[in-house]
Structure 1
Amino acid sequence: MADLKGRVLSVTSEAVPLVKTGGLADVCGALPGALAAQGWQMRTLLPAYPGLDEKLRAPKEIWAESDLFGGPGRVLAGQAAGGMAVMLLDAPHLFDRAGGPYADARGDYGDNPERFAALCWAAAAIAAGGARDGWRPDLLHAHDWQAGLAPAYLRQQGIPVPSVMTIHNIAFQGHAGADRIGSLRLPREGFHRDGFEYWGNISTLKAGLVSADAVTTVSPRYAEELMRPEFGLGLEGVIQSRAGDLHGILNGIDDQVWNPETDPELAPYSARALGRKQENRARLMQEFGVSGAGPLVILVSRLTAQKGIDLVPEAIAPLLAAEGTLFILGAGEPWAEEMVRDLAARHPGRVGLRLGYDEGLSHRT
């Protein structure tokens, strides 16, 4: 790259096209291309969940540690589909599990703090110049609580690489008991109100917020809201203290991916030619096994109280009265999944439901 402005290490728990549970993956998958257009080179570091190494082209081991939070770990560098430069943390004792990235049918993994601390530890090692291929970032970009310890480790170890901490969703703060300070390789002297301590426990998100050189979030409005108690969820004071370094950057979409004129999942249409849009509606209604001549409402979301899922049963009444139809695609908290199952059972043919995440179906909806 002739006019290279710098190198960025993006640390995340998910990114398309490799793994996705929500919008975090979309952002982290789109960032490399967006920054490349501005002259920046980005590598994305994420865990090697089962099967991800098979999606990497020409993987090469660039870093290893024999005891990475309870077992051996190594980083593989290669390219994912579309040429995205990826580094996978291969640590089977932490990430080779039959469930999802964060939980299985029984709930969240009990060692999630250590699992993602390992990711952050590897990120800090690469930032310190530990990659065998010589690649070293000029900036580390940490995403949400899973990457919150990366800026903390940089500061803790005196690694001279600046960092940015991005809050995608402040509801998830990476809580861990104070008795895990040692297992997370954190300094005990950092356990105080201006450090990573949070109401007697540890918050890995807070660790990132107090350690990073700058803080960003997903919109200017959200940046303002996070400084208020009703939105800051206990971290508003920390965010207020970083107000001078806080930047709200509006999330956008990748119009190469979300384009109905070229999307292979759709009968093509555009704002100038809407004719085939009805084909997509008919196909979708058949796929969901529903019918209705009225409005079609589609909900693609995590099923959690934060998203207002508890309001759906009451809000649906006017839609059904207007012969409308509701599609729900998502997964989340057990109570919410049970609620939407009940809703679909009570309104067969009018409420369509798919639990889980389906990238192709999200395009078709």
Structure 2
Amino acid sequence: MKILHASAEYFPYIKMGGLADMLASLTKEQAQSEEVYVALPYIGGLGKEPLWTGKDYPALLPKDAKTDSLVVSVLRDSRFLEAEESGVKLYFFQSDLFQTLDSIYGHAEEHFRFAMFSYACYALSQILKVDVFHAHDWHTAISLALQKDSPFPIPSVFTIHNLAYQGDHPFWMTGFLKEEPFRLVTSPFDHNGKCNYMKAGILSANQITTVSPGYREETLREPNGFGLSDCLNLRARDYSGILNGIDTEEWNPKKDKRIYNTFQDSNWKVGKLKNKEELFKEIGRPFLPLDAPLVGLIGRLTYQKGFPTFLKAFLDRRHLPHRYVVLGSGDPETENSFFQLSESLPDIFYFYKGYNESLAHKIEAASDFFLMPSLFEPCGLNQMYSHVYGTIPIVSRVGGLRDTVEESSLIQFKTGIVFEPNDTGSLGYALERARDLFFSPERDIVVKNIMKLDWSWKKRKAEYQSVYFRAIDLQI
């Protein structure tokens, strides 16, 4: 089977969140038995230089190159440059629209950039004659509408990674979608008076997936549907929740070259202690006690991630022996709060603004607990990374977190600590239970059990395969 994925992110080239990790690890697994291609933008700030093959492909179909519109001229001057990574063929969309960017999001004219990219991905799928076209999130959703309206449609799948971001724009800004080479009827994509790219993907794809069963159920009801739950309910028969997996080569404490000391379940205590000691030295906190619980937090500092709830719970439970290491960036107010804590309470709190892949691995390896206070979480990957590194996750009961972490009363089935979202008291009590578990002999049982959990892509790959076959059946 020939599969083309279209995405704005792909690790290690473009990474802003879990989408990059998810797609890189999924495609690596798929490439063991299928022909797998990935289309992504070629931005100036790539995280790694691609291994180019020397081949390139047009971004415009010959039948659409007959007019001289602005859109056609942009696409005529653009190309896909081919590269390869772990058996996956990568196609970088080389265009003036993206090459001046040092990051993928947060720029003006995103509605136009990603629409151009979406058309180019659609054209590439036709040129490569793939069996399945798999688009990810709103940035590539217009390609699904093009696929649906094509005289030669390719079976399509749309994966929703985060419904909170929908790519909705005023119709006056998206008039070009009615012109060459799009020629789309955009009225069905109307949501609250705007052209909603996410809705276009939901209505157009043969099959829809999201990244956990729990999140699927949540999005079928408001407010977690962010206004699109009715639309998703109309497609409920074609809507699946498939839990993400992780790259067990990239995230593996036995051979992780980014951490200070490798370890496994048989020597996890020594491994944790050495990694904690070296981490404290690197962040300039060598005076912190090694026998106190270390809680790691990594993520985008956005409303979704629930950091204001954590800040309140932290202040309410300052008497606890926990130390905290936070890695992330985003909301300026949250960043300022974390900076103040890092300066005023250096013996308890450390904050690193930004994202650092190596530091993320080191925090996972050194931490005793990993906190995810999300208000909603489509899947989450860090709780799975934490399991593999013997780091007990403390998570809110939402989405993929409740699918992967269970606070069972039976110690042999306990895989973490769970609290209610947006509830300061519940999170505070969870931190108290973490303290009790840290000093309990039961911790050894929990750690050894979670390090044996299998979060690889083997099972999930088969689930996606089933979705692809359903998409093909619907297209025939």
Q: TM-score surpassing 0.5?
A: yes
- Structure 2 equivalent of residue 76 of structure 1: 81
1:282 aligns with 2:285: no
Equivalent residue of 2:265, what SS? Answer: coil
- State which of 151, 160, 166 in structure 2 corresponds to 1:167: 160
- State which of 303, 306, 313 in structure 2 corresponds to 1:305: 303
- Structure 2 equivalent of residue 106 of structure 1: none
Give the distance between the partners of 2:280 and 2:13, measured in 1 at CA. 29
- Structure 2 equivalent of residue 96 of structure 1: 99
- State which of 169, 186, 189 in structure 2 corresponds to 1:190: 186
Percent identity, aligned pairs only, is: 32
- Structure 2 equivalent of residue 86 of structure 1: 90
**Alignment-mate amino acid for residue 212 of structure 1:** A
1:62 aligns with 2:57: yes
| Superposition deviation, residue 199 in structure 1 | 0.4
1:212 aligns with 2:227: no
1:232 aligns with 2:225: yes
**Alignment-mate amino acid for residue 51 of structure 2:** L
| Superposition deviation, residue 75 in structure 1 | 0.6
Question: How has the CA–CA distance of structure 1 residues 319 and 279 changed in structure 2, closer, same or farther, with 3 Å as cutoff?
Answer: farther
**Alignment-mate amino acid for residue 304 of structure 2:** Q
- Structure 2 equivalent of residue 202 of structure 1: 195
Equivalent residue of 1:173, what SS? Answer: coil
Q: Is the 8 A contact 1:294 1:322 kept in 2?
A: no
Q: Is the 8 A contact 1:32 1:41 kept in 2?
A: no
Equivalent residue of 1:251, what SS? Answer: coil
1:296 aligns with 2:299: no
Give the distance between the partners of 2:105 and 2:228, measured in 1 at CA. 23
- State which of 8, 32, 53 in structure 1 corresponds to 2:3: 8
**Alignment-mate amino acid for residue 16 of structure 1:** F
| Superposition deviation, residue 325 in structure 1 | 1.1
Equivalent residue of 2:124, what SS? Answer: helix
**Alignment-mate amino acid for residue 39 of structure 2:** L
Question: How has the CA–CA distance of structure 1 residues 165 and 352 changed in structure 2, closer, same or farther, with 3 Å as cutoff?
Answer: same
1:31 aligns with 2:36: no
Equivalent residue of 2:40, what SS? Answer: strand
How many equivalent pairs are there? 344
| Superposition deviation, residue 96 in structure 1 | 2.2
- Structure 1 equivalent of residue 172 of structure 2: 179
Question: How has the CA–CA distance of structure 1 residues 159 and 231 changed in structure 2, closer, same or farther, with 3 Å as cutoff?
Answer: same
TM norm structure 1: 0.88
- State which of 249, 254, 264 in structure 2 corresponds to 1:256: 249
Give the distance between the partners of 1:294 and 1:219, measured in 2 at CA. 34
TM norm structure 2: 0.69
Question: How has the CA–CA distance of structure 1 residues 142 and 98 changed in structure 2, closer, same or farther, with 3 Å as cutoff?
Answer: closer
Give the distance between the partners of 2:45 and 2:184, measured in 1 at CA. 37
> Which one is further off, 334-343 or 119-128?
334-343
* Structure 2 gap ranges (5+): 364-476
Q: How does 1:320-331 map to 2 (within 5 A)?
A: 320-331=318-329
- Structure 2 equivalent of residue 3 of structure 1: none
Which one has a larger percent helix, Structure 1 or Structure 2? 2
Cα root mean square deviation, aligned:
2.0
> Which one is further off, 164-173 or 288-297?
288-297
| Superposition deviation, residue 310 in structure 1 | 1.4
Question: How has the CA–CA distance of structure 1 residues 59 and 172 changed in structure 2, closer, same or farther, with 3 Å as cutoff?
Answer: farther
**Alignment-mate amino acid for residue 24 of structure 1:** L
| Superposition deviation, residue 68 in structure 1 | 4.7
Q: Is the 8 A contact 2:44 2:98 kept in 1?
A: yes
Q: Is the 8 A contact 1:152 1:211 kept in 2?
A: yes
* Structure 1 gap ranges (5+): 1-5, 104-108, 130-134
- Structure 2 equivalent of residue 132 of structure 1: none
Q: Is the 8 A contact 1:216 1:249 kept in 2?
A: yes
Greater RCO, CA 8 A, separation 6+: 2
Give the distance between the partners of 1:354 and 1:127, measured in 2 at CA. 41
| Superposition deviation, residue 127 in structure 1 | 1.9
Give the distance between the partners of 1:69 and 1:260, measured in 2 at CA. 49
Give the distance between the partners of 1:68 and 1:27, measured in 2 at CA. 31
Equivalent residue of 1:348, what SS? Answer: coil
| Superposition deviation, residue 17 in structure 1 | 2.0
Equivalent residue of 2:335, what SS? Answer: helix
Q: Is the 8 A contact 2:250 2:256 kept in 1?
A: yes
